[in-house]
Structure 1
Amino acid sequence: MYVIGIDVSKYKHDCIIMHEDTGEIVRDVFSFDNSRAGFVQFISVLKTLNPTLKKKIGFETTGHYQDNLKMFLADNGLDFMELNALLVHKFKSSLTLRGVKTDKTDARLIANYLCKVEFKPYPKIVYNILSLRSLCKRHFTLIKDRTKYLISITNFLDRTFPELKPFLNDNIKSKTAMFLLRKYGIPSKIANMNIQSYELLRKLSRGKFSVAKFYKLKDLAKHTIGFTYPTDTFEIKSLLNVYDSINEEILKVETKISTLMSKINSKIPTIKGIGLVSAATIIAEIEDINRFVSPDKLLAYAGLDPRIYESGTMSSKGKMNKKGSVNLRRVLMNCAESVIMFNPAFYAYYRKKRDEGKAHRVAISHLARKLVRIIFKLETTQVDFDPSLVK
């Protein structure tokens, strides 16, 4: 069998080919570009090998730089294995204490590591899942951007009209708050609102914005301790335009995610409290549930498994590992927070952990682990969620 180790980088990839049994080098380290021509060059080298011998191709996961190579190998019917970079680094540490790192030595290291581990081919690539992952990451980025601009709007109000936030119960995302900022922007204009402005506010709030509240707002704006610059009207409009634009993009992305989810057979959305985007993110990060032989493997992939320390007669379990998929762990922890509001069974389990003396965040992490085991059960058996699964 041939072992083919590839060190992936942004513009080129370094590759070495050797025999697994003897360690004999068939083709010493060579480079090929991260381009169509480079990949064709790589395939042409593989065609010179003995066709009767199988090939083990492996490379580390390095952000997104390996994605094009993965798709090309899959399209050409070649099996490959993604390697955990941390495990490869630990393997290197077991071989030498020297701090040597080059692309060529990394390619050799990856090939040697492939010789030592069981070859687990990457599951068949499903384009809907890859598209879903990309959209979910885009959605997360947009949410972060929206939060950043909301903070900027808050900071603007802290300077120009600090009394407005407490007046609106700190809800500057409300329709009333956004109406005031879009139409008037600065306190001097809010102070000069007329009765027509009140009618607009009353209709917007469905009658909840009273006359007394209207005149109190005008008085707060007139006597505010805040100060304004001549450019503040322009600034708040600029902030709101970007904020609105991000909201529009979020809606578009969520529509696309919904369309893709309709083409994917998953039972995760049957769990009340897990929203569309959260379910999509979990599905996209797992990719194929058959990659995991047990719930424990899925827990480890999410980085939710506890650290275990044993020495002599001492044995203990510590904090969660946090060595797996950051995106999967984040969304599972968030889902654990939300399912307790919609599922009595999940809340009972959470309450049980709290009664044992565990802090809120620790209890949520236990619930996230329980959620992983339930998700594994639903996806492997293709059954809808049943509260009896929460024990």
Structure 2
Amino acid sequence: MRIYQKRNTCFIGIDMHKDMHCAVIIDCWMNKLGEVSFENRPSKFPAFVEDVRRICGTKEFVFGLEDTRGFGRNLAAYLVGRRFEVKHVNPAYTSAVRLSNPIIFKDDTYDAYCVARVLRDMVDSLQDARQEDIFWTIRQLVKRRDLIVKSNVMNKNQLHSQLSYSYPSYRKFFALVDAKSAMCFWEHYPSPEHVKATTPEKIYETIKPVHQALKLQRIHEILAMIEKDGDTRKDYQPERDFIVRNIVKEIRHNKELIAEIDDELRKLLPLTGYKLHTMPGIDLATEAQLISEIGDINRFPDSDKLARFMGLAPVQFSSAGKGKDQRCRNGNRALNAIFHFMAVQMVAISASGKPRHPVFRGYFEQKVKEGKNKPQALVCVARRLVRIIYGMMKTKTEYRPYQKDL
């Protein structure tokens, strides 16, 4: 936007909230022309636009939205649908403007003013506020899934704690504490007194429907371990048993919820056109997380921009002609973590001694031989993953493994 265009343009910064939005209008000289507060309801948006027209008069205007929690999604969709120019303002830019003030303070009006200032200075480089429903929906499902998974982790920790009182050797009973056979056992026999009140055959018949490969001999081995643990009965044992059963029910219910979310993701992910699941090491959950964090790949002109977005590219720190590249600790840390764990999986060695992905393992070992330490080599693997995934998303093609020329 040239200077004469800016002189005839008003910049509207909007601080988004759950119930009320605050908008501040400034001109190109950063003079405050007006302020509008309005409810976050679609029925109030037309009146807000009319107030903006009245304040701006004959000048053009552009909107800047600092939408951190999705509270401004409805307003953005309304403005974009009516062909207004709407820009997304990164909260980091707004925070930098706020902190540049000698006396730092914060309120809705000043926040909206800071958004307007960032919009004025960076109107040509800010991204358009595009509201694509499919990516937003996938992101909401992924957030919901992550919340349930974290809840189940806490439930399993509580289950470990409760079982250690009643069954000191409980870790040797089953491979996983939350396996189907284990959950069935804890639900029916939360403490040794329930085991002693029945027979091995009845226990076997109880667990057999959920574990077809179970053998009666294994039940006898579990009973022998319980016998070696001794008397673990404590006061208020019925209440303790209730806690164990309650935790088991919640874990089972959360697993059902996760399965339902996975079913919805299986329906949505193909609609994006991306085929990340064809790459070894990327399952449904990882693919959904990648798409939810990256969104529309066309936002990034090349893979280097995507790497910088997640803080995987080095940052130059220099002064007076001296300096060096250093590790970036900013960017999208959630996406950075996804690529880090993917890199770890790609270079891992399986239990049989064979690399899970020979090509990435060879690349990792090559970088180590060149003098890089293992964390640095792992970053190189992550960067290569960024380039491959960027190409797959950009062209919407399947993963094609590398093959050496014969």
Fold conserved between structures, TM > 0.5: yes
Pick one of 361, 367, 381 that aligns with 1:367. 381
Among the aligned pairs, what percent are the same residue? 23
Partner of 1:316: 324
CA distance in 1, matches of 2:31, 2:130: 30
**Structure 1 length as normaliser, TM-score?**
0.87
Displacement of 1:155:
1.0
CA distance in 2, matches of 1:204, 1:353: 47
Q: Which amino acid is 1:46 matched to?
A: V
Partner of 2:282: 274
CA distance in 2, matches of 1:294, 1:43: 37
Partner of 1:148: 154
Partner of 1:349: 363
Distance 1:199 1:29, change over 3 A: closer
Mark the runs of 5 or more structure 1 residues left unpaired by the alignment: none
Preserved contact between residue 92 and residue 109 of structure 1 (Cα < 8 Å): yes
Q: Which amino acid is 1:248 matched to?
A: E
Displacement of 1:68:
3.1
- 1:35 corresponds to 2:35: no
Preserved contact between residue 79 and residue 121 of structure 1 (Cα < 8 Å): no
CA distance in 2, matches of 1:389, 1:74: 46
Secondary structure in 2 matching 1:230: helix
CA distance in 2, matches of 1:116, 1:233: 63
Deviations 1:42-93 (A, max 9, x none): 1222344779754321132422333333233233333322222222222344
Deviations 1:326-347 (A, max 9, x none): 3322332333333446532222
Displacement of 1:354:
4.8
CA distance in 2, matches of 1:52, 1:263: 43
Partner of 2:6: none
Distance 1:383 1:205, change over 3 A: closer
- Most deviating of 198-207 and 269-278: 198-207
Q: Which amino acid is 2:13 matched to?
A: G
Partner of 1:111: 116
Preserved contact between residue 202 and residue 210 of structure 1 (Cα < 8 Å): no
Preserved contact between residue 34 and residue 55 of structure 2 (Cα < 8 Å): no
Secondary structure in 1 matching 2:128: coil
Deviations 1:88-112 (A, max 9, x none): 2223444x32113222222222212
Query: Would you say how many aligned residue pairs link Structure 1 and Structure 2?
Result: 384
Distance 1:340 1:200, change over 3 A: farther
CA distance in 2, matches of 1:362, 1:255: 38
Distance 1:300 1:227, change over 3 A: farther
- 1:70 corresponds to 2:84: no
Q: How does 1:56-95 map to 2 (within 5 A)?
A: 56-94=62-100
Preserved contact between residue 277 and residue 287 of structure 2 (Cα < 8 Å): yes
Q: How does 1:11-22 map to 2 (within 5 A)?
A: 11-20=19-28, 22=29
Mark the runs of 5 or more structure 2 residues left unpaired by the alignment: 1-8, 349-355
Distance 1:146 1:365, change over 3 A: farther
Partner of 1:381: 395
Deviations 1:245-300 (A, max 9, x none): 11111011110111111212113222221112211221122221111122222112
Displacement of 1:219:
2.4
Displacement of 1:4:
1.0
Displacement of 1:24:
4.8
Q: Which amino acid is 2:240 matched to?
A: D
Secondary structure in 1 matching 2:126: coil
Partner of 1:198: 204
CA distance in 1, matches of 2:384, 2:90: 25
Superposition RMSD in Å: 2.9
Distance 1:291 1:55, change over 3 A: farther
- Most deviating of 266-275 and 40-49: 40-49
**Structure 2 length as normaliser, TM-score?**
0.84
Distance 1:328 1:79, change over 3 A: farther
Preserved contact between residue 188 and residue 222 of structure 1 (Cα < 8 Å): no
Partner of 2:188: 183
